[in-house]
Structure 1
Amino acid sequence: MASTNAPISVAEVAEQAGNYTYNVHIPLANWLRTASTMQKEAQVYEAEGNDAQTYLLLYRHADLVLQKLQVHPDKNKPENRSALNAATATVSRDLKKLEDIAPRIKKRHDEYQERQGKQLEALKLLQGNDASNLSQELDGLSIRARGSKRRSFDSRPTIDARAQENQLLAARLAQREFKRRDTARRSVRKHGVSEEEEQERRGGGRWDSWQDELAQSGDGDDLSKQLQEVGRLQQNSHRTSYSSVGSQSASPYHYPLVPYKTAQERWSDSQSRDTAPARPPKEQIYRTSGTPIAPPPLPPKPSIQDTRYEHSRPPPVPGKISEGTPSLLVRPPSQRPLTPSNELDEFTFQPSAFLENGDPLRPVFLPSQLRNQFLAVASSNTRLNLETCGMLCGILKSNALFITRLIVPEQTSTSDTCETLNEEELFDYCDKEELMVLGWIHTHPTQTCFMSSRDLHTHVGYQVMMPESIAIVCAPSKVPSWGCFRLTDPPGKQAILNCSRPGIFHPHDVDDIYTDARKPGHVVELANAPLEIVDMRPKKNY
């Protein structure tokens, strides 16, 4: 379960960050939601200590907001102006974080390069000039892999999401995170914090003062400085002229971190808890006259020491090692066996599938009960031959996406279409609950299970926002009764983005425009996964 990805350089991370699809024909409101999703993902990776992914997302966010969205045709629409300014205001804080993270990425990459060089030199002494053929054996890492498109991952162990034993871990991880969020939400309500104040705390004040900040610095000057800063980062990503690693972010909000302890520290804590308390000092017993009575003599120690229980005691904690003493050989974290106390925090899910262009897809865990529960909610519409749609929302944890909530928005339906209404309410709810939109689900009451041209044009907006986004189609009267799909990339996503044919339903000339996301794919059905259903429709509509 060792990590299979080598630490990459800052320049390589920046290159990956700039490798994303942008299309000017997608509404600016959709791109702003994409930027918000990047921020949420970056916060999770930052809390988990994954510097490379944090840097990639923050850099991509800055490039999207400053380089692309500032010249979008919808920029001057009144409904977009404030949100775009707010997104722009967050970039300055992100740039400071990028400066803080870059030295850590560089240090890990340099250390890996140095270690790899020493290992190759040692192998050359043993194997001669054929050592290059053994590079795959070194730490399970390939030097050639550094030039691939695959994302960098944390140094923690990587596990396969499809393995049955790992799915049990995934269910436990989802249940724990679900309970943690629910407990935090109830605690906030218990202490009388209003929803408005809670949103302000979650936002860390980032979006509240953007007007004042822009008024003080000037819109054009501030944007110009940020553009220059992004360009400087891109040109100098290989250099070492960064701020110190220990400097703090300029943001007033610090994402809460789960306290981490090493295995040695956890063992020391358990040892201190299990050790019996020290005996209290002996008290002298006095007679009424005040003369102390001498305690009885202790019995002599047996000549043969009783060693029956010594084998059950753990070894003593080793003392601190001085600078001149050689350090003990300790297994690196990526090679330590998982135990019940650390298994939920010391692994990362590896990509379970790849796009057609080679980019990795993070696993998406789909609750096995979701489809049946959605069909129960949609049953009244299905009997009337009306489509029903829902949003698949969830969380990011350990480099995997967990669908934890099914939201049925206000909508209007026909036998062949379904249109969501009042989308602002939906996205405000997701922001308040710290949820990401991971895809959508809808019914075909009388049609077969397939992606219509209307479905394809709807889904491309989701998949541009997040490559792992999925579309589930339920056809309860047909066989197969359901399917889980994504656009191919390429050629499907590009064909839909460039399609300008009129009409709701029209043919496309591209073959293999979409594919199954499960077999094979990145979607894994997960039993015992937590799932909450939120129905936003007015009662009169169902």
Structure 2
Amino acid sequence: MDRSSLATRPMSIQELIERASKFEWNPRINFKYWARAAETLHREGKAYLLDRNLPQAFIVLFRYSILVADHLRTHPEAKDPDNRRLARPLQHRLPDVLATLEDIKPEIRESYEQWTRLSSTRRDPARSGRLHAHTSSTSSATHHDVLDPALAWNYQSPTEILDIRDREHQDLAVDLAKKEMRRRRLAGSWGPDVSKYRDQGPPSADDTDLRRQMELARRQLDQSQSYGGGSSYDDDVVTPTNYSYPSIRRSSPARHEPIPAPLSVPQGPRPLPPRPPKGPPLVAPLSPKKPPPRPQKEPLASYNNATEYTPDLETAPARPPKTLDEPKRVTFAPNRYLENGEPLRPVFLPRDLRHSFLKKASRNTERGLEMCGLLCGVLINNALFINHLLIPDQKCTANTCDTESEEDIWKFCDDKDVIIIGWIHTHPTQTCFLSSRDQHTQSGYQAMLNESVAIVCAPRYEPSWGAFRLTNPPGLGEILRCSDPAVFHEHECKNPYVEALQPAGHVYEADLDFQVEDIRKQKGY
């Protein structure tokens, strides 16, 4: 399989901080949606750490720290007892998230510095520094230069970046996801080892903002002890004992994962014998059950076909030796973008999921009542795969449906180790479209997860179903700023949402297995 030419330059720590900080906090969105967003960010960070996609992991975990430490406590619904219970585990997890951000900085910094050194040695530094981004000819963002940290060049662990537009690559994405989901089921809970990033060295100038943010969060923790000390949360509220939320564990990596690369690699086109250690080893010793690493026989080949990012052999650093059981790393590049140029990761939707949902909703549909479900799934190789349809407790009317018992939803996501990728609901008496109420609901999902999808099923009309996302801009921004209290009202923008299914959108139907989980206390209304 040929390496693609979709890699972008690595981003500096400061650039990653700026990207992570770029989101619109809006207290008009219900607290439960922001809490869900924080939970999703944490699970995304775990997934990217497992894939060793450290720049993207840094962005989502730093964004988590901002959302939890700075914003949730100021939400007007923060004093509600149920919301205090939702916020408590998010806050308790914050120290581990901050520690992980510090842990992964050295390798991110090293990749950026390596790229900078290589760029300075080329004949045309300006050309090598030019952003190389992939955009589809049919994308609405072809006029944008997109720097995607999920596709960043990394000399320590080169990755095959594949174009998801290729049907073979779509099939490969599904096959790899099935294999990984099966592995996770057999292995039980999983978590990446971040302790290997401990040797950080002296702080650099671009760490200032991160350290200031982290110190602020630490002071808040010291003063409040779970959002006390003048915050919106009471100290006497404890997390329910029937479940707990995972933290990013410092457990040993699974044996099939690649041995982490050293933070500094000797340069040169020829293989070098191992040097005597100057201090504590940067890489954990190999298990006696594992074969020893083979020596590197030739210098690192071209990382991809993009001349801007193919280092000269004379200056390319040698790749660390691979172990026999190191899997090939693959990342799938987006081929759709938001209207503001941000990339949309591909979402794979089980082909039969909506039929299963309509069977569950049939009793409500006969009564003319709406019903909703949550689309839950996993992040693998920079693509999202829906593998669970969750039917939560909800309040249903002829024109609305609202989820309830948020803690049960969180427990389910915790037990299955999934994130909420979107939602599905019926229009038993209306056509297939997103009402103004639906648009406000979708804004809660899409505020932190651009790829969130809203599926509408209108069994009495044609088309009988559709998948949608809000435009951004103008749709998401206008709806977040809307304060109209009426259930149904008009929005000024003419195109608040668009089709999300292929070929126009980022959602692919696929032959994926999925489970239907009905956790309603009452199965009918």
TM-score (norm 2): 0.71
* Contact 1:120–1:135 under 8 Å retained in 2: no
Q: Bigger CA drift: 1-10 or 361-370?
A: 1-10
Residues 1:166 and 2:164 aligned together: no
CA distance in 2, matches of 1:342, 1:474: 45
CA contact (8 A) 1:52 1:153 kept: no
Structure 1 spans left out of the alignment, 5+ residues? 122-130, 189-197, 200-213, 225-249, 263-318
CA deviation profile, 1:68-105 (whole Å, cap 9, x unmatched): 22333333333333543443333222222222211211
* Cα distance, 1:137–1:33 mapped onto 2, change above 3 Å: closer
AA at the equivalent of 1:361: L
Q: Which residue of 2 aligns with 1:523?
A: 507
| 1:422 maps to 2:410 | no
Deviation of 1:27 (Å): 3.0
* Equivalent runs, 1:77-156 vs 2, <5 Å: 77-120=80-123, 132=126, 148=146, 150-154=148-152, 155-156=158-159
Q: Is residue 460–residue 496 contact of structure 1 (8 Å, CA) maintained in 2?
A: yes
- On the 8 A contact 1:6/1:152 being kept in 2, the answer is no
CA deviations 1:377-425 (Å, max 9, x no partner) are 2233323332221110000111111000111223343332223332321
Amino acid of the residue matched to residue 420 of structure 1? T
Q: 1:539 to 1:10 in 2, by over 3 A?
A: closer
Pair 134,256 (structure 1): closer, same or farther in 2 beyond 3 Å: closer
Change beyond 3 A, Cα 1:502–1:84: closer
Alignment of 1:261-340 (within 5 A): 321-322=272-273, 328-331=298-301
Change (3 A) 1:221 1:374: closer
- Counterparts in 2 of 1:116 and 1:455: CA distance versus 1, 3 Å: same
Distance (whole Å) between structure 1 residues aligned to residue 63 and residue 354 of structure 2: 34
> Which of these residues, 393, 396, 402, is aligned with residue 379 of structure 2?
396
For 2:494 and 2:329, how far apart are their aligned partners in 1? 42
Q: Which of 36, 44, 47 does residue 44 from structure 1 map onto? A: 47
**Could you tell me which of 508, 512, 516 is aligned with 1:533?**
516
Bigger proportion of residues as helix: 1
Q: CA deviation at 1:39?
A: 1.0
Alpha-carbon distance in 1 for matches of 2:382, 2:163: 12
How far apart in 2 are the matches of 1:111 and 1:47?
Answer: 23
2:223 equivalent in structure 1: 219
Deviations 1:456-513 (A, max 9, x none): 1111111113111010011122121111101111111111111122321112222101
Decide whether aligned partners of structure 1 residues 388 and 330 sit closer, same or farther in structure 2, where only a CA change above 3 A counts.
same
1:469 corresponds to: 452
Q: Deviations over 1:136-159 (max 9, x none)?
A: 69999xxxx998553342541211
Alpha-carbon distance change, 477 to 252 in structure 1, aligned in 2, over 3 angstroms: closer
Which of 365, 371, 375 is the aligned partner of 1:382?
Answer: 365
Q: Distance in 2 between matches of 1:362 and 1:173?
A: 16
Query: Residues of 1 paired with 2:249 and 2:414: CA distance?
Result: 19
Identity %: 36
Which secondary structure does the structure 2 equivalent of 1:358 belong to?
A: coil
Q: Is it true that 1:71 corresponds to 2:74 in the alignment?
A: yes
Deviation, 1:374, is 1.8
Q: Counterpart of 1:476 in structure 2: which amino acid?
A: P
Q: 1:146–1:112: structure 2 CA closer, same or farther, 3 Å change rule? A: farther
Which blocks of at least 5 consecutive residues in structure 2 are unaligned?
135-142, 153-157, 192-217, 229-246, 260-269, 276-294, 311-323
How far apart are the structure 2 equivalents of 1:476 and 1:157? 42
Match of 1:97, SS state, is helix
Distance change >3 Å, CA 385–CA 106, structure 1 → 2: same
Aligned to 2:256: 259
Distance 1:406 1:107 in 2: 41
Aligned partner of residue 120 in structure 1, secondary structure: coil
Query: Displacement, 1:333?
Result: 6.1
| Alpha-carbon contact 2:146-2:342 (below 8 Å) kept | no
Q: Which residue of 2 aligns with 1:13?
A: 16
Contact 1:43–1:255, Cα closer than 8 Å, also in 2: no
Does the residue aligned with 2:151 lie in a helix, a strand or coil? coil
Q: Match of 1:150, as an amino acid?
A: D
CA contact (8 A) 1:151 1:360 kept: no
What's the counterpart of residue 176 of structure 1? 179
What's the secondary structure of 1:328's corresponding residue?
coil
The corresponding residue for 2:7 is: 4
Q: Is the 8 A contact 1:162 1:524 kept in 2?
A: no
Letter in 2 for 1:95: L
TM-score (normalizing by structure 1)? 0.69
Q: Does the CA contact (< 8 Å) of 1:492 and 1:513 recur in 2?
A: yes
Deviation string for 1:44-80 (max 9, x for gaps)?
Answer: 1111111111111221111222222233333333333
* C-alpha distance 413-223 of structure 1, shift in aligned 2 (>3 A): closer
Tell me which amino acid in the other structure corresponds to 1:448. T
The answer (yes or no) to whether the contact 2:469–2:497 under 8 Å persists in 1 is: yes
Matching residue of 1:30: 33
Question: Shift of residue 222 of structure 1?
Answer: 9.8
1:460 matches 2:462:
no
Alpha-carbon displacement from aligned partner over 1:274-299 (angstroms, at most 9, x marks no partner): xxxxxxxxxxxxxxxxxxxxxxxxxx
User: Deviation at 1:343?
Assistant: 11
Q: Partner letter of residue 503 of structure 1?
A: A
Change (3 A) 1:487 1:138: closer
Separation in 1 of the partners of 2:488 and 2:326?
A: 49
SS of 1:541's equivalent in the other structure is coil
Cα drift, residue 354 of structure 1: 1.0
* Residues 103-150 of structure 1: CA deviation (Å, up to 9, x unaligned): 2111111111111221225xxxxxxxxx8568769999xxxx998553
State the partner residue of 1:490: 473
Distance, in Å, in 2 between the alignment partners of 1:221 and 1:384 is: 49
Q: Match of 1:472, SS?
A: strand
Give the distance between the partners of 2:227 and 2:426, measured in 1 at CA.
45
Tell me how far apart the structure 2 counterparts of residues 152 and 218 of structure 1 sit (CA, whole Å): 34
Counterpart position of 1:407: 390
When residues 459 and 58 of structure 1 are mapped into structure 2, their CA distance, relative to the original with a 3 A threshold, is same
Whose radius of gyration is greater, 1 or 2?
1
What's 2:236 paired with?
none
2: CA distance, partners of 1:252 / 1:487: 35
1:334: how far off?
5.4
Q: Aligned AA for 1:454?
A: R
Report if the CA contact (8 A) 2:432-2:465 is conserved.
yes
Give the secondary-structure state (helix, strand or coil) at the position aligned to 2:69: helix
8 Å contact from structure 2 (residues 378, 419) kept in 1: yes
CA distance in 2, matches of 1:4, 1:364: 20
CA contact (8 A) 1:66 1:223 kept: no
The 1:253–1:182 alpha-carbon spacing in structure 2 relative to 1, beyond 3 Å, is same
**Residues 6-48 of structure 1: per-residue CA shift (max 9 Å, x gap):** 1111111111011112112223333222212111111111111
Q: Which residue of 2 aligns with 1:439?
A: 422
Query: Across the two proteins, how many residue pairs are aligned to each other?
Result: 419
**1-structure distance, mates of 2:402, 2:119:** 55
